Amino acid sequence: MQADILFPINAEAFTYLIPEDLESKIKPGVRVLAPFKRAKKVGIVQRIGVRGQGSRGKGQGLEGIILKPIEAVLDEEPLVPENLLKLIQWVGQYYMSTSGLALKNAVPSAFFTGKKAGKSRIVYDEEVKEAKPLELTVEQSSALSEINSTDKGVFLLHGVTGSGKTEIYIRAIKALPPDKEAIVLVPEIAITAQMIDRFRVNFGDSVVFYHSGLSIGERITQWRKMREGEVKVVIGVRSAVFAPFNDLGLIVIDEEQEASYKQFEGLRYNARDTALARAQLEGIKIVLGSATPSMEAYYNAKNGKIRYLELTQRIEHRPLPGVDIIDMTKEEKQSFSLSNKLLDALKENLGNDHQSLIMLNRRGYSPFFMCTDCGHTYKCPACSITLIYHKDTNTLNCHYCGSYLNPQSMCPTCKGTRIKHLGTGTQRAEEEIRSLMPGLAFKRMDKDTTQKKLSHYRIIKQMEEKKIDVLLGTQMVAKGHDFPDVTLSAVISADIALNMPDFRSAERALQLFTQLAGRAGRGEVPGRAYIQTYEPEHYVFDYVRGHDYKGFYEKEIELRKELSYPPFGRMLRIIFSFKTKDSARQIVNVISNRIKKSNLPLSQTGKGGIEILGPSPAPIEKIKNLWRWHIILKGKNAKALRQTAAVILEKIRDVKEVKIDIDVDPINML
Ligand code: ADP
Ligand code: ZN
């Protein structure tokens, strides 16, 4: 007998011989120790076969080739259940990556490295409060009974902010047969904080929390709990889609439109789409929840491909917040970040003893550290990106590669000494708000203030306990939170979202502003939202102001149709990275010629309706010292796109000195 063994490396499975004495112990999903190159490696049994038959992996295992034997079996029961093995394979194929890389993303690395797991210390609020009995609204009940009426299928739960979607997720899980399990995906760790409390109230210790920020020991503990059926529900970000449950009944994707479900490096998978595939593979139901669905999801719902459930009202018929668009070209201001209008509103809100939430989607102090004599700004030496000044560390940081420079008092170009900070980030806004509103209980929440474990959770708790008057942060403050005393929400620089060079920028902006506005007025006192912008006539604001998602959809879908963008077409991006600018040009030439010779359509709609754009320089030309070019494939059919990409890759297989990344269904073209 022989077995295909998958290792957590960027490769497909390798075939090994099963020694007779191990035959009874080897089954799909167990870990084994096997010789690999000159060392030994831990891998997972993917499948078992008879010698010489049906094996995969680079010509190994064929008649006449001597297979190396597996050395030891490490598990009695499979570490990875069979359904998850299938999903891992699906991910490898769909994203034109490998099953090995998918395995690496799916299973905690410590299971392969044998690194000793330290003690698990997961601490949340000790006391779990009693669940307050809620009577569902009419809309909630009817959505829930639709979900409960079936055990398969895809639902879009479209509910305005504060309409009680989470309550529906909880009840739908409770309504599952007792042995069924559930996965709940949320887009940000920051949101899990409140979610986990609400779930713990309802499910006690049978719910776990799972994300990549946990320590090695914690991940292993959680994995084992799920695997051994000790817990029934997992809440997590992205990688929780690979939860090792084998009797799943339901998957919930909260805020399904979020870009953070997509991984931007290595295996570029989207956890929402992976979850949809998992639901289909396992024949179960899946609920996509959102106040502002992705164009794709809403389009599918309109066309009857997925089932549409709607919550049009906030709980208790509370009004949605009024939205003020503040025209920054006209407003007076005494600080860089805040208009007087917003400042006055903040002061008034504080005077009424209510809380405020402010989003400024850029961390650091200022995005331009500029010489006023010659206009010189600092670029990252490794990336084609302007550096962001961080005042706390007095450094100029690159948000792409993490490197930094120490600013000089003299301009390196003209030796001028008049340096100016232009633009604003969370640190500057904090400084200004603190000085304009002394005595304020203020907190900043961005990547820089939440490096420590559970720091999100602590900030959220302080907010709940009303120990914070004003919480300011990047987009992590905008989403999901339910603070009844927040009656004011604000966006400081809406233009950051509006000006992204991406066909989805209007959609993203609408979603983000609606989310942020939706944090206000969730309790008894109605809320108000303020959005500061230099482009108040942008069409997005018409729909944000009116909370009119559907109106926005109707406008946006026409634009997408005209240009065959998703949901009317699919996309696939091939990214090439080179060590030098010159070699990039030369090698790109070779690549272009090969593609031309292969009779694939170039820069035009050709065979099978596939359009190949490029190769052209990527909008961010250089990241981490690599020069980047890309090809974008557009077409109706995802499979045809992958086939075309495969042909291109085959044609350039022997081209050297280029790193190639594939992004299937890209959501960022930078
Ligand atoms: P969404 O996820 O749609 O923004 P939530 O699920 O956070 O909304 O619900 C908003 C608030 O309303 C929460 O505090 C929740 O506990 C409460 N809530 C939900 N359903 C009901 C109900 N049927 N009756 C009373 N309060 C409810
Ligand atoms: Zn950089």
453: confidence class by pLDDT, cuts 50, 70, 90: confident
Statement: 570-664 belongs to CATH 3.30.70.600: yes
Using the mean position of ligand 2's atoms as its centre, give its distance from the Cα of residue 403 in Å: 6
Ligand 1 atom with the smallest distance to the CA of 311 is: 3
Cβ(525)–Cβ(513) below 8 Å: no
Q: What is the pLDDT of residues 357-393, one digit of tens each?
A: 999 999 999 998 889 899 888 999 999 999 999 999 9
> Which residue owns the Cα nearest ligand 1 atom 6?
164
Residue 50 pLDDT: 85
Report whether 238 contacts 212 (CB < 8 A): yes
> Distance between CA 70 and CA 91 in Å, rounded?
26
Q: Is the pLDDT of residue 517 over 60?
A: yes
Give the residue whose CA is nearest to atom 18 of ligand 1.
Answer: 164
Could you read off the pLDDT of 641-654 as tens digits, one per residue? 999 999 999 999 99
Q: Which ligand is nearest to the CA of 401?
A: 2
Q: Which residues contact 210 (CB under 8 A, 6 or more apart)?
A: 219, 222, 223, 226, 234, 235, 236, 239, 240, 243
Going by CA atoms, what residue is nearest to atom 17 of ligand 1?
164
The pocket around ligand 1, CB under 6 angstroms, is made up of 134-137, 140, 159, 161-167, 315, 482, 522
Q: State pTM to two decimals.
A: 0.93
Query: What is the distance in A from the centroid of ligand 1 to the CA of 281?
Result: 32
Q: For a pLDDT cut of 70, what percent of the chain falls above it?
A: 94
Residue 60 has pLDDT above 50, yes or no: no
Least confident range from 45-59, 488-502, 529-543, 589-603: namely 45-59
Name the residue of 137, 166, 511 to mutate for ligand 1: max ligand atoms within 8 A of Cβ.
166
Half-sphere exposure of 369 (CA within 13 A, CB side): 29
DSSP string for 131-172: PPP-PPPHHHHHHHHHHHT-SSEEEEEEE-TTS-HHHHHHHH
Q: Which residues on adjacent β-strands are paired with residue 443?
A: 471
pLDDT per position as a tens digit, 415-427: 988 988 889 999 9
Domain-wise residue ranges, the chain: 2-113, 138-315, 318-364+424-560, 570-664
- What is the model's pLDDT at position 239? 94
Q: What pLDDT, in 10s, does the model give residues 2-55?
A: 999 999 999 999 999 999 999 999 999 999 999 999 999 999 999 999 876 544
126: pLDDT strictly greater than 60: no
Ligand with smallest separation from the Cα of 520: 1
pLDDT at 128: 63
Q: Judge whether 138-315 and 318-364+424-560 match in fold.
A: yes
| Contact between 522 and 162 (Cβ < 8 Å) | yes
Q: How far is the C-alpha of 375 from the C-alpha of 411, rounded, in Å?
A: 9
For residues 163-172, give the mean pLDDT: 96
What spacing in Å lies between the alpha carbon of 494 and ligand 2's midpoint? 25
Q: Which H or E run contains 93? A: helix 82-94
pLDDT of residue 52: 61
pLDDT tens column, 303-329: 999 999 999 999 999 999 999 999 999
d(CA 381, CA 625): 8
* Ligand 1 probe mutation, 482, 486, 514, most atoms within 8 A of CB: 482
Q: Dihedral (C-alpha) 225, 226, 230, 235: value to the nearest 10 degrees?
A: 100
- pLDDT at position 120 over 60: no
Burial of residue 178 (number of CB atoms within 10 Å: 0-12, 13-18, 19+): exposed
The class (CATH top level) of 318-364+424-560 is alpha beta
Q: What is the mean pLDDT of residues 500-521?
A: 93
In terms of CATH architecture, what is 138-315? 3-Layer(aba) Sandwich (3.40)
From ligand 2's centre to the CA of 387, what distance in Å?
A: 8
Ligand 1: nearest atom to the Cα of 137: 23
Q: Which ligand is nearest to the CA of 521?
A: 1
CB atoms within 10 A of CB 146: 16
Q: Report the pLDDT value the prediction gives residue 217, as an integer from 0 to 100.
A: 87
> Class of the 2-113 domain?
alpha beta
pLDDT band of residue 66 (cuts 50, 70, 90) is: confident
Q: Quote the CA–CA distance of 458 and 83 in Å, as a whole number.
A: 37
Which DSSP category does 229 fall into?
A: T
| Protein residue with its CA nearest to atom 4 in ligand 1 | 162
Give the pLDDT confidence of 212-247 residue by residue, as tens digits: 678 888 899 999 999 999 999 999 999 999 999 999
Confidence band of 77 (pLDDT split at 50, 70, 90): very high
- DSSP classification of residue 523: S
| For the chain, percent of residues with pLDDT exceeding 90 | 78
Q: What is the pLDDT of residue 61?
A: 45
3-state SS, residue 638: helix
Q: What is the phi-psi region of residue 573: left when phi exceeds 0, alpha when psi lies from -120 to 50, beta otherwise?
A: beta
Find the 405 Cα to ligand 2 centroid distance in Å: 10
* Ligand nearest, relative to CA of residue 396: 2
> Tens digits of per-residue pLDDT, 561-617?
998 899 999 999 999 999 999 999 999 999 999 888 877 755 444 555 888 998 999
Give the Å distance between the CA of 166 and the centre of ligand 1. 7
Contact of 186 with 237, CB cutoff 8 Å? yes
Measure the CA–CA gap between 637 and 35, rounded to whole angstroms.
41
Query: Residue 60 — φ and ψ, nearest 5°?
Result: -85, 160
